[in-house]
Amino acid sequence: MKKFLTEIMYILMVLVGIAISLKVIAEQIANNVINNISGFVIILIIIVGALWAVAVVVLDFKERIKYEKKTLWPMICLYLFIVVYNIYREGVADGLQQALFFIVGFSVFNFLIARSRRDRVRIDSNYNLRDCKREDADFIYELKKEGFEWYIKDLEGWDEDKQREIIKNEMDAHLEDMNIIRYDFEDVGLFTYYEDENNDIFIDMLALMPKARNRGIGSNLLQFLIVNNPNKRIYLRTYKENPARQLYIRKGFSKYDETQTHWWMERKQVSE
The yes-or-no verdict on residue 252 having pLDDT over 50 is yes
Of the listed ranges 34-38, 41-45, 83-87, 106-110, the least confidently predicted one is 34-38
| pLDDT tens digits, one per residue of 111-166 | 555 554 444 434 445 788 899 999 999 999 999 999 888 888 887 888 999 999 99
Q: Report the pLDDT value the prediction gives residue 240, as an integer from 0 to 100.
A: 86
Please give the mean pLDDT across all residues of the chain: 76
| pLDDT tens digits, one per residue of 16-50 | 666 666 666 666 566 655 555 565 666 666 666 66
- Domain ranges (residues) in the chain: 2-119, 127-267
What is the distance between the alpha carbons of residues 55 and 160, in angstroms, rounded to a whole number?
42
- Segment 50-78 shows an average pLDDT of 60
What is the distance between the alpha carbons of residues 219 and 8, in angstroms, rounded to a whole number?
35
Name which of 139, 229, 129, 224 is nearest 182 in CA terms.
Answer: 129
- Segment 194-201 shows an average pLDDT of 91
For the chain, helix, strand, coil in percent to 5 are 65, 15, 20
Pairing of strands 178-183, 127-131: antiparallel
Q: Name the residue type at position 30.
A: A
Q: Report the pLDDT value the prediction gives residue 118, as an integer from 0 to 100.
A: 43
- Decide: helix, strand or coil at residue 254: strand
- Segment 45-72 shows an average pLDDT of 59
Of the listed ranges 2-11, 140-149, 251-260, the least confidently predicted one is 2-11
Q: The domain 127-267: what is its CATH number? A: 3.40.630.30
- Segment 47-76 shows an average pLDDT of 59
Burial 191-205 (b: 16+ CB within 10 A, else e): bbbeeeeeebbbbbb
What is the distance between the alpha carbons of residues 44 and 21, in angstroms, rounded to a whole number?
10
220 and 124 in contact (C-beta within 8 Å)?
yes
What is the distance between the alpha carbons of residues 176 and 96, in angstroms, rounded to a whole number?
32
The yes-or-no verdict on residue 260 having pLDDT over 80 is yes
- Segment 60-75 shows an average pLDDT of 57
- Segment 237-242 shows an average pLDDT of 88
Alpha helices in 120-196 (DSSP H): 137-155, 160-174
What is the distance between the alpha carbons of residues 96 and 103, in angstroms, rounded to a whole number?
10
Q: Report the pLDDT value the prediction gives residue 124, as an integer from 0 to 100.
A: 46
- The sign of the CA dihedral 219, 199, 271, 73 is positive
Which carries the bigger pLDDT value, residue 42 or residue 213? 213
Which carries the bigger pLDDT value, residue 143 or residue 270? 143
- Segment 164-179 shows an average pLDDT of 93
